[in-house]
Amino acid sequence: MRPALVRIAFIDALVSIRGFSALDRLVRRMQVRRRRGSQTAAELSQMMNLAESYYPRALHCLRRSAAMTWLLRSRGYPAEMVVGASVLPFLAHAWVELDGRVVGDDEQLIRERYAVLERYPAVSRT
């Protein structure tokens, strides 16, 4: 749980102090680790859920998605953070995808409700 909690706290502090543009730059530069760890993406998602439950502040989807993307990429998963919106009613949401599938969120709801505005593809190490 500690790796997830550290990422949540870092992302939360970064956005609070430096704003969305700093988060945008960070997520675009996050690289995928070469070797995949022993934990599955589902286990890492559960770890993030548990860490979020212990975090003292409510975590909005953008910060959670950035932390989840970072956790997955650090474990060798080419996760993408995605930001979308719906027009009527106006709603915005951020989520994480791995191999085109939504991780840790309601995939059917996301596909029905949101149009993709921005996608943060995984960056491989060279």
> Does the pTM exceed 0.85?
yes
DSSP 45-80: HHHHHHHHHHSSS---HHHHHHHHHHHHHHTT---E
Peptide bond into 78 cis (omega under 30): no
Contact yes or no for 72/98 (Cβ under 8 A): yes
Residue 5 reports pLDDT greater than 90: yes
Helix (H, G, I), strand (E, B) or coil at 117: strand
Helix (H, G, I), strand (E, B) or coil at 22: helix
- Local confidence band at 124 (pLDDT 50, 70, 90 cut-offs): confident
Per mean pLDDT, which range of 2-6, 11-15, 31-35, 64-68 is the poorest? 31-35
